[in-house]
Structure 1
Amino acid sequence: MKLPLKALLPVVVGLILAILPAPAGLEPYAWRYFAIFAAVVVGLVLEPIPAAAIGVMGVTLATLFRLVPAKPPAPPTPGEAMAWALSGFSNGTVWLIFIAFMFALGYEKTGLGRRISLSLIKVLGKKTLGLGYAVAFADGILAPFMPSNTARSGGTIFPIIKNIPPLYGSTPDQDPRKIGSYLMWVALATTCVTSSLFLTGLAPNLLAVSVVAKTAGIQLNWTEWFVAIAPVGLLLFLAVPYLSYVIYPPTQKESADAPVWAARELAAMGPVSRRELTMAGLALFALVLWIFGGSVVDATATAFIALCLMLLFKVITWDDLLGNKQAWNVLMWFGTLVALADGLARTGFLTWFANGVAAHLAGYSLTTVMVALVVVFFVIHYIFASVTAHVTALLPVFLTAAMAVPGMDVKMMALMLCTSLGIMGVITPFATGPSPIYYGSGYLPAKDFWRLGFIFGLIFLAVFLALGIPWMLAVAG
């Protein structure tokens, strides 16, 4: 789609919705807010300009027309509207995501992420299948500490594994299926699984937790998340390298040179540095507090403590923090998206929509309703180029619809929807942050990527439905 059309379409969608009469039972101001929200979502899907800029524009328009917070019959004052617009930046989750990028920077600057990955390749990389598991375990070790799967997989794993295929004459132009295609697909599919397995494995997971808290008043913590998804996540994590080996087999079954190369690279790195040890200690400190210290220290406070220690011990510098454009971009992006998602609830749109959906779901069993909501929530990601956009646009709506169903365990439904966010990233070349990186590597042609995305998406969803839902219901019971 050409840029002018991509830029025009969100505006057209917003204007058309705004001039249409509000549906029965919905206040006009709520419908106008939804028109702005829909335009933002279309913009996030098409991305004619950076997503953060789209979020800022959406919040600005809603503030200009004083649509939120809704105070019928009079509109909110300009000050109240502005306070709502900035409310997303007072959200602890937004700052937790920001600090997560500083963790990623610490892994990168100290070389700890590279050392971990190379060490795994040295131990497990003799056979191609073993190398696939080395790639998977490298991601699995980093995932609890790096909520940016783009930084984790695209910024840490990919730069290492891209050096391996040329050792065997496997390049994008010459025999990519020899080993390169297999490694690239394992890396992508694995990071999608670990993105679901850990609350802190994917930045939009943290946004989703915030949306759940705002929409349903339910708090989800790290441990609850992990327990809910562990059977599905661990099974898929262990299965992905083997499934890829069977479904998309490399023609080179042995990779005896990879451990030698990894050992050479590790030798070149020298002994573990003080900064690497410091980073490892701080990461472990943060993880322990996130898992066990929730009743004493807030998760965001833990992140701030770790950030302060990273600065004090010179793991990163203040200039590093100021120069991390990606982190500041995400801060603006998530801060505005949190406010926009909150606006749907404050205007009454979600309640109206949920009541309508609940009316259509009436008469079906709770299990049928749960499965239907999860399947639609998963499959509709085909039209999204961002998990964040997916969370912002759909999670409040699906969650509110579930809340309107009599007898629904809303907390379990929230966990089902939220823990599916990572695995849905496997389905397209643009479904999650690392996807374009691996697609752009040249080892995964478009037809292969779409085919594998469909197959693995089907496998992931089937396992999630067959194992995950019964397990979550059993845990809840």
Structure 2
Amino acid sequence: MDKSVLKKWAVVLALGAIIWLLPVPQGLTPAAWHLFAIFVATIAGFILQPIPMGAVAFLSLTLCALFGILKTKDALMGFGSGTIWLIVCAFFLSRGFIKTGLGRRIAFLIIKAIGRSAASLGYSICLAELVISPAMPSATARGGGVFYPIVQSLSSAFGSEPGASAGKIGRYLMQVGFHADAVTCMMFLTSMAGNPLCVGLAASAAGVELTWTEWALAAIVPGLVCLFLVPIVLLKIAPPELKEIPDAPKLAAQELSRMGPMSTDEKVLAFVFVMCLVLWATGSLTHLGATPIAMLAVSIMLIAKVLSWKDVLSEKGAWDAMFWMGGLMSLATALAKSGFIKWAAALIAGGVSSAHMGWIASFVVISLIYIYSHYCFASVTARISAMYAAFVAVAVACGAPPLMTAVAFGIFANLPISLTHYGNGAAPVYFGAGYVSQGEWWRNGFIICTINTVVWFTIGMAWWKLIGLY
């Protein structure tokens, strides 16, 4: 075994072993503490990758089952998650866009209309996300199922593929697509599936009844600022080689001419794509979940032979994402159920309360802990379930205005999606494309998340003061 690999293993195992052997804190069971040790070691394994991420996750679940920390069915519960299968279906939908050429056609139509620079393409993605997000509460379906195939096709249209040519423009566009999806999750009550959960919890934790209009009004100004900054910031921290593309519209028109009229497979896929958009947007009326709709889309593609079963089996990115994301969701869900998250939240909240700071300082400290704790979660909804009510209650007890606090912590639940490649369901899809290394993803994600946090604590709080939230 290579020495560098041995060093990575040493760090991962030592980190897990140290936490495992420390005395179990009062208020926790040994199983919860040991599960936390394995979770930390798993995250370290994801970062250092002595073996691929999917293998790290599988090994962690195996240890949990062998040591009796989790029952086998609990260790494997992440693989039955609807979110995981929505991610997998998003990969298959993207494969259909590539195979039929529809993605390439859409990409060239966009380039022909506005493709004069990398920035203009970035802003077109942001604008499209903003328009569609209020009507599509599944961020995974929106980011992974709708925009990822288009972003991938745009990248390919400029000759930018994973590997040596990734930096041409694909690396930039992939990150714009993901971070735009994360920002729009903050902006509307109906733009992320977990947001309505905040409404119910706000009533019990702070006695506040949140409405769609209150959420949208509170988020619109700082949210638009964050969305505006995404392409600009990424131009600085992940600059594409192709910044200005003055001849792109002409070249796109030529390529569209060469492609000719739409094929039958393209028309079938176009129908499937529009069907998904309509069904996802009307889910509150039809009561159809995002995952069954995506499964229906894949089924139609298989029946119409737009995709073959061989195409499904060969989609390595889908199965790799299922392994590492499914494994991580199992661990994160079990960690929340073990009581560890509730214990940690109470410990932090108690420390802040005992410090006797003013309500603004307390609100900022509690919010920062709430935001950056997302490194421990693979699901925004799970974090809302585990932490929202407790943190809102503590902030209000410290003197923070109830309505502002309820809205803020709903928004801040989505703010740190940008941090990691498992921050929400769309993250593994964009990351799985292979354009961005994990180190760069985490670095840029931290920068974007921190900039957005500053925006919300400055422009956001000034805006909230103006509209009377406090």
Please give the TM-score of this superposition, normalised by the length of structure 1: 0.70
Q: 1:97-246 counterparts in 2 under 5 A?
A: 97-126=87-116, 128=117, 132-137=119-124, 141=128, 145-147=142-144, 152=149, 155-162=152-159, 187=173, 190-198=176-184, 209=194, 231-238=221-228, 240-241=230-231
Can you give the 5+ residue segments of structure 2 that lack an aligned partner in the other structure? 130-138, 204-211, 397-401, 422-426
**Stretch moving more, 329-338 or 235-244:** 235-244
Aligned with residue 5 of structure 1, among 7, 10, 20? 7
Q: Tell whether the 8 Å contact from 1:153 to 1:434 is kept in structure 2 after alignment.
A: no
Can you give the 5+ residue segments of structure 1 that lack an aligned partner in the other structure? 69-80, 164-170, 173-179, 441-445
Q: Quick check: 1:93 aligned with 2:80?
A: no
Q: What's the CA shift for 1:390?
A: 9.5
Question: In 2, Cα distance between the equivalents of 1:397 and 1:465?
Answer: 23
What is aligned with 1:372?
365
Change in CA separation of 1:187 and 1:370 when aligned onto 2, cut-off 3 Å: farther
Question: In 2, Cα distance between the equivalents of 1:96 and 1:450?
Answer: 23
The letter of the residue matching 2:80 is S
Question: In 1, Cα distance between the equivalents of 2:62 and 2:182?
Answer: 33
What is aligned with 1:176?
none
Give the 3-state SS of the residue equivalent to 2:271 in structure 1: helix
Change in CA separation of 1:236 and 1:217 when aligned onto 2, cut-off 3 Å: closer
Question: In 1, Cα distance between the equivalents of 2:369 and 2:50?
Answer: 26
What is aligned with 1:323?
314
What is aligned with 1:417?
413
Q: What's the CA shift for 1:356?
A: 0.6
Q: Quick check: 1:291 aligned with 2:281?
A: yes
Q: What's the CA shift for 1:359?
A: 0.6
Q: Deviations over 1:91-131 (max 9, x none)?
A: 211211111111111221122222222222222235x4xx5
Q: Tell whether the 8 Å contact from 1:96 to 1:303 is kept in structure 2 after alignment.
A: yes
**Stretch moving more, 241-250 or 112-121:** 241-250
Question: In 1, Cα distance between the equivalents of 2:281 and 2:442?
Answer: 37
Change in CA separation of 1:291 and 1:7 when aligned onto 2, cut-off 3 Å: same
Question: In 1, Cα distance between the equivalents of 2:469 and 2:59?
Answer: 41
Q: What's the CA shift for 1:12?
A: 0.9
What is aligned with 2:431?
433
Number of residues of Structure 1 aligned to a counterpart in Structure 2: 421
Q: What's the CA shift for 1:463?
A: 2.7
Q: What's the CA shift for 1:340?
A: 0.5
Question: In 2, Cα distance between the equivalents of 1:472 and 1:298?
Answer: 34
The letter of the residue matching 1:133 is S
Aligned with residue 460 of structure 1, among 435, 439, 452? 452
The letter of the residue matching 1:24 is Q
Q: Deviations over 1:288-343 (max 9, x none)?
A: 22222235212222122222122222221221112111111112222221210122
**Stretch moving more, 21-30 or 56-65:** 21-30
Give the 3-state SS of the residue equivalent to 2:27 in structure 1: coil
What is aligned with 1:15?
17
What is the aligned-residue RMSD (CA, Å)? 4.8
Question: In 2, Cα distance between the equivalents of 1:94 and 1:248?
Answer: 28
Q: Deviations over 1:208-253 (max 9, x none)?
A: 959x89xx899xxxx99x9586655544444555677899999999
Give the 3-state SS of the residue equivalent to 1:413 in structure 2: helix
Give the 3-state SS of the residue equivalent to 1:147 in structure 2: helix
What is aligned with 2:303?
312
Q: Tell whether the 8 Å contact from 1:124 to 1:134 is kept in structure 2 after alignment.
A: yes
Question: In 2, Cα distance between the equivalents of 1:17 and 1:358?
Answer: 22
Q: Tell whether the 8 Å contact from 1:41 to 1:393 is kept in structure 2 after alignment.
A: no
Question: In 2, Cα distance between the equivalents of 1:60 and 1:399?
Answer: 31
Change in CA separation of 1:404 and 1:39 when aligned onto 2, cut-off 3 Å: farther
Change in CA separation of 1:235 and 1:101 when aligned onto 2, cut-off 3 Å: same
The letter of the residue matching 1:63 is A
Q: What's the CA shift for 1:11?
A: 0.8
Change in CA separation of 1:288 and 1:197 when aligned onto 2, cut-off 3 Å: farther
Q: Tell whether the 8 Å contact from 1:424 to 1:457 is kept in structure 2 after alignment.
A: no
Question: In 2, Cα distance between the equivalents of 1:141 and 1:159?
Answer: 20
Give the 3-state SS of the residue equivalent to 2:394 in structure 1: coil
What is aligned with 1:74?
none
Q: Tell whether the 8 Å contact from 1:122 to 1:258 is kept in structure 2 after alignment.
A: yes
What is aligned with 2:132?
none
What is aligned with 1:353?
344
The letter of the residue matching 1:331 is M
